[in-house]
Amino acid sequence: MAQKKAIIIGSGIAGLASAIRLSAKGYQVEVYEKNSYPGGKLSHFERKGYQFDAGPSLFTQPTLIQELFDLCNEPIEKYFSYTKTHIACKYFFESGTIIQAFANPEDFAHELSLKLGEDKNLVVRYLQRAKQTYQDIGQLFLDYPLKQIIKLPFSQILKALRATKSSYLFSSLAHYNKKYFTKPETMQIFNRFATYNGSNPYKAPAMLSMIPHLEHNEGTFYPFGGMISITNALYALALKQKVKFIFNATVTSINHENQKVMSVTVHDKKIPADLIVSNMDVYYTYKYLLQNENVAKKIIRQERSSSAIIFYWGINKSFPSLELHNIFFSTDYEKEFAAIFDKKELFDDPTIYINITSKMENSQAPEGCENWFVMVNAPHDIGQDWDHWREKCRNNVIQKLSRILKTNIEQHIQTEDYLDPELIDLKTSSYTGSLYGTSSNSRLAAFLRHPNQTDTIKGLYFVGGSVHPGGGIPLCLRSAKIVSNMIQ
């Protein structure tokens, strides 16, 4: 029997994982990528000796990567190494309060009790409940296609239903946290986890309260070489599996006949395939590759997730007070999210996230210097004047950081690049620059995400952050596993 051929459109993290899994199933796999490099958002660049990861900066659930190497009987140590971090994040408040969010739940609870007077038993109980919710409900939802969940053993579904409290669905994350904790700073810390899928904690359901489980029960990790080492490791594994990559190759259409995929068109040439996996944003897949305006319009009726403005700063100074992950909170979190999601503009007092990989490896920046990945949550692109908003954002960020860190940050910026919603769309084909496709700002949002398969075209599958189960590295890797399990 001739070897069946699978074509992957896009080499983002989900595309790479799909290529590896389908190759392990015995398919001949070809990956077509419009850029000259693999990784999608998970890419990298260098400026004057400063190393920058261009996209995702938080690494959790390394077992999902380990799975891919185990599947191929390859030792991960030859390709990839990482270490667990002691501090998940460091939080700075305008009041002067600084919280070290230890990865260990008990240590974190003690810190919140010591610095804020929060009841540490509440914190431990919250994280235990997050763990239980993740195990009972989260994994069920994240590991299976939506349509297959109802076909699972009744005992498994019943367990999930019993664990699903009404507050998880009918309360917002912010309302849930306000009822749970006593200190506004603690509420703000736990509200921020809604941003993990580009959502508004004042609208998104309390079900998202399971997300802190990943950081404070399972832990956060640092991949040596930076986040780009994840892309490099999976790309090398795919090559070892004889996956063929074609770069600078834009797929312009998915061709199908009699409700079955036949080929893709690349450079006006039709490339036949037995199955096709699109790692492209699902909206663009339907609008341009399938030329199906009706489905495309249906997809964009759902609220888009937030985007970001990112500054990549080479800082010619060392800041001992900063960690790998740092957050400088806004004084009015609710107004910040209202500005982003309701007004579609930036807030004047933004919450600022700074990732500094040189804290873990000196080689990531010149001696005595630091590589700052500075990110502010932003609305998705609806035609705003991003040159104006980016400059305004830059000024606000520099003023805020200079005030809190008691240093003139501007004078220490040695090299600078940036990314905004318009550029995110252009570089990664993420529609309107939305980092996670659709938001989770309603209790049904998770169930309205496009599934990983379509009933109308046999042999066509979808992976990545714009489809089930959602955005972020762990969920993108899970989408690839879901699709692989669907394919016989």
Residue 435 inside a domain? The answer is no
Same-domain check for residues 292 and 187: no
CATH number assigned to the domain comprising residue 293: 3.50.50.60
**Helix axis angle, 173-180 to 184-191, nearest 10°:** 150
**Given this model, what pLDDT does residue 164 score?**
58
Q: Where are the alpha helices (DSSP H) in 51-138?
A: 63-71, 105-116, 120-133
Same domain flag for 15 and 113: no
Give the mean model confidence (pLDDT) for residues 85-102: 97
Mean per-residue pLDDT, 241-246: 98
**194 occurs within a structural domain:** yes
Verify that 208 and 257 share a domain, yes or no: no
Are residue 316 and residue 420 in the same domain, yes or no? yes
CA 296, chain centre distance (Å): 23
- Domain annotation covers residue 31: yes
Q: How confident is the model at residue 148 (pLDDT cuts 50, 70, 90)?
A: low
Is the CB of residue 31 less than 8 Å from the CB of residue 15?
yes
Q: 268: left (phi > 0), else alpha (psi -120 to 50), else beta?
A: left
Are 378 and 408 members of one domain? yes
**344 Rama sector, left if φ>0, alpha if ψ -120 to 50, beta otherwise:** left
Q: Quick one: 150 and 174 in the same domain? A: yes
Tell me, yes or no, whether 204 and 116 share the same domain. Answer: yes
What is the DSSP code (8-state) at residue 455? S
Token pair for residue 72? 């191929």
Residue 473 binned pLDDT confidence (cut-offs 50, 70, 90): very high
How large a percentage of the chain has pLDDT more than 90? Answer: 86
Rounded Cα gap, residues 175 and 474, in angstroms: 27
207 CB-near residues (< 8 Å, 6+ apart): 133, 137, 168, 169, 443, 446
Of 127, 174, 199, 225, the residue nearest 380 (C-alpha): 199
* Within-domain flag for 397: yes
Final residue of a structural domain among 164, 195, 215: 215
- Residue 175 located in a structural domain: yes
- What integer pLDDT is reported at residue 143 of this predicted model? 79
261, part of any domain = yes
pLDDT of residue 448: 75
User: Do 267 and 285 have their domain in common?
Assistant: yes
Is 268 part of any domain?
yes
pLDDT of 165 > 70? The answer is: no
Instruction: Please provide the average confidence, as pLDDT, over all residues in the chain.
Output: 93
Strand 370-378 to 307-315 pairing: antiparallel
| C-beta contacts of 441-446 below 8 A and 24+ residues apart | 441/199, 441/200, 441/203, 441/204, 441/303, 441/341, 442/203, 442/204, 442/205, 442/303, 443/169, 443/170, 443/205, 443/207, 445/199, 445/204, 445/302, 445/303, 446/141, 446/207, 446/470
The tokens describing 36, both together, are 């000259």
Same domain, 456 and 403: no
| Residue 153 confidence (pLDDT) | 57
Distance linking the first and last C-alpha atoms of the chain: 15
Regarding whether 417 and 374 lie in a shared domain, the answer is: yes
pLDDT on residue 89: 98
pLDDT digits (tens, 9 = 90+) for 56-78: 999 999 999 999 999 999 999 99
90 part of a folded domain: no
Domain count, the chain: 3
Same domain, 419 and 339: yes
Q: pLDDT tens digit string along 117-147? A: 999 999 999 999 999 988 887 667 777 776 7
Range of the domain at 264: 5-42+58-83+227-301+443-486
In total, the chain counts a number of residues equal to 488
Same domain, 340 and 321: yes
For residue 223, cis peptide bond before it (omega within 30 degrees of 0)? no
Neighbours of 356 (CB within 10 A): 23
Q: Is 99 in contact with 327 (CB distance < 8 Å)?
A: no
Residue 82 to residue 365: CA distance in whole angstroms:
19
16 phi, psi to nearest 5 deg:
-60, -45
